[in-house]
A and B are shown apart, each in its own frame.
Chain A
């Protein structure tokens, strides 16, 4: 019989207690009857036989008692007794119990929900076959120190064909397309993928097939759909395979549909992938420069380090072979790290904060347990005096803690599902892998294990404290034998203050960082601006003139809409993502001069863009209607002017740009620096070219309106539909929303840390107040004596405040060290605030010390108000 089945049987016996007793009684009585019957058969008179049988048997009750012990159920019965007693104790102290249960539940709920999110995003394996072997491979721009640069087609092919460490390698490039199927044109995000991409990730099509070598080699008119897109757009119709779709004006055949379980890896520019097209290297795209994302699968038993070492050697070979690869190396990172790297620090910090909150909650539960035990010192001492062994006492105290913890855990578990749901609704949209966040067995097991650990901690504290309280209590005088202040309480106060300080500092730093992030002057005015993207298809794209004419007409019509102040064009709106960048150089400066060249972001704009976004013109002028012919002009940003012509007049200078196979442009004007990516990325030099001179089919239309910018969107759509019914308006956002989105993850972190710090401060305050006030209450007699001997109220209060502040200062000291560690580990999240920001530290430390003072003053004042005589008499 295994230990488990034996305990099961014992528990069963206890549960069926009455019938077990009855059957024992039956059995013993039957034994005596048999004994009597035997004696009667042997010739004894019945009465004498019964008497003799009973005598031989011995005391019935003592046999029963011995038999009960032998059943092995004594410990189960003891436990049940302890449990009943614990229920009684907790119910009698309903207030303290409720507070402790809720505090513990809060800790479990907060820590558990955050853990669930962090586990889903960071720890759960990627949903691909053998995901540990998947990596992302990048080019490494060594001089500019950019180790995650996109890859050129030629290098991708060289890596794929010449490496010895990867089982397979695939390239991807985003391909937004316009889909016309029915009346409403739709802009869809797709990706071109090289042969073997799906097999590399270990997914097989749900319907049809994926790409084969011929798709890539011959013509590229096949397309594979994602399950979600297939459901949304085609209602899950299986006959879609083999159907022809108009994709960006060209018919494509649907080859297959991927399964619903396939979540394409989200990294780099790849966010949404609704459909896929085959990709292959061509002489044309080999000359385009770097634009590919590359994923690869390590051979079995090949480590990441091996792969890095071999790819480093290959990178050096390639750098020697081609001038285009000079100064370039290769970066290999695991795909999991690639996907989640950006949010890792923030999530780990939030998890750490939740852990600290949990520590405070557990400490608070411990202080509540102690206050409960202090009130029960008499009961415990009495139990001990009438014979309860230390072991029994210990188990009984443990049972109380366990019951309390179990209730707290149960309530905490109930808050997990809504907690996770709240977190998901708050989470910024750019957090990857939100779909893999779910509450399942491993998470619940981990949370339960942490809960058990916490219960063990405060259970041990309570058991040790309860025992010592029972030992030192004098039942006769009703007083505690000890006179020194309680060390346990002081430690708890210091611990709570330390942890609250660390959390408080983390939150304050994050709030200040967020404030300075929001205070960044972006260089343009966002209010009242809406931006929308147009990608023209059809006959009007055939000549530059007709392209330009289309956008001119579109803008003219938009400007006549009600409420529109101005409307302009830009190739990619600020905060709208990365645009092209190129080398810009001043041909007049000698080679090798530091100010000869700079890397410039290029934007194409029309004549009214600067006015629409309110980007101030500092010198010269911007484009006008004469720009279509003559020498091409350029408008440069302030930092561009500083980079090439510091303290000189750049107007009229010539600039060489590495675009369109090299062009030379003349500087027409200088505009203020603008943040193009997000408020964290420092401004970079920008060169603005004229859209009239270099038209393109895809442009952002930027519109400034009076009042709500969202209200103009339906009008924009109808203006466009009237001009080109098959062209959709997409990526429609107001600029304030767009700016908001770039700080969404900062807002998330700031919100959570502030919420945790707030709760921690509240819990810490309650805990500190509880410990100190019960301490003061215990010392009323001492205060009475001091007052009777002539101490003034102020000296007594001062003495107590001094003691409380001493304890709090120990906490502040330890907490300061903890906060410093926390602040340094979150420094990559901070913007415009150093991790050692003295203001944050001082603010939180002062707040906590004031809290400790108030927590002393209130109970001290109460103690002083009662007369010394009463206090002495009450003891």
Chain B
């Protein structure tokens, strides 16, 4: 668990959320599970920062929410990626690759 790396997560949280929503719409808890799962349990999103991030992305228009019912019949919100969000995701991926390559080079020397 790398939850004690807040700076890294802060910058990349948007990328992680957008990426996790790329295949299919999910509700909040499922997003955090999907990130954990996709990163082979390396990255865990702190719930305290997940929901503010979701609301911020929604305000920017990158994701959209829809009221839905959970299997248990509870009222929840399901988030999906918007067209603008898809564009933003590819930007974020490019930026991340750029950043990661630079750090790789730095570490390799």
Residues of A within 8 A of B (CB): 1, 5-6, 9-10, 23-24, 26-28, 30-31, 33-35, 56-59, 62-63, 66-67, 69-72
Contacts and interface: CB of A to CB of B under 8 A. Distances in A.
B86 interface: no
Interface in B47-92: 47-49, 51-56, 58-61, 67, 70, 72, 74-77, 84
Nearest to B3: A56
Contact of A66 (B29, B48, B60, B74): B48
B52 A1 contact: no
Q: Is the interface of A mostly helix, strand, loop or mixed?
A: helix
B29 A31 contact: yes
Given A6-B61, A30-B74, A70 B48 contact: no
Interface string B28-61: 1100100000000000001111011111101111
A70 B75 CA distance: 22
A10 B59 contact: yes
Nearest to B59: A72
Q: What secondary structure prevails in chain B residues at the interface with A? A: helix
B47 A70 contact: no
B96 to A, nearest CB: 22
B29 A30 contact: yes
A17 to B, nearest CB: 14
Interface centre among B51, B54, B58 (most CB of A within 10 A): B51
A23 B67 contact: yes
Most interface-central of A1, A6, A10, A28 (chain B CB within 10 A): A1
A62 B52 CA distance: 11
B75 A23 contact: yes
Contacts of A30: 27-29, 70, 74-76
Contacts of B59: 6, 9-10, 70-72
Contacts of A33: 72, 74
B74 A26 contact: yes
Interface of B: 27-29, 32, 46-49, 51-56, 58-61, 67, 70, 72, 74-77, 84
Given A10-B59, A26-B75, A31-B29, 17 more contacts: A1-B60, A23-B75, A23-B77, A26-B76, A27-B27, A28-B51, A30-B76, A31-B32, A34-B29, A35-B29, A56-B47, A63-B51, A67-B51, A70-B56, A70-B59, A71-B55, A71-B58
Nearest to B60: A1
Q: Which of B46, B70, B76 has the most CB of A within 10 A?
A: B76
B51 A57 contact: no
Contacts of A10: 59
26 contacts: A5-B61, A6-B59, A6-B61, A23-B77, A26-B76, A27-B27, A27-B28, A28-B51, A30-B70, A31-B47, A31-B51, A33-B74, A34-B29, A35-B47, A56-B47, A57-B47, A57-B48, A63-B48, A66-B51, A67-B52, A70-B53, A70-B54, A71-B55, A72-B55, A72-B56, A72-B59
Output the residue of B28, B53, B55, B61 with the most chain A CB within 10 A.
B55
A40 to B, nearest CB: 14
Contacts of A59: 48
A91 B53 CA distance: 41
A70 B56 CA distance: 5
A58 B51 CA distance: 12
Question: Which has the most chain B C-beta neighbours within 10 Å: A23, A28, A31?
Answer: A31
A31 B76 CA distance: 9
A101 to B, nearest CB: 36
Contacts of A70: 51-56, 59
B55 A67 contact: yes
A9 B82 CA distance: 15
Nearest to B75: A26
A2 to B, nearest CB: 9
A686 B75 CA distance: 99
A386 B37 CA distance: 49
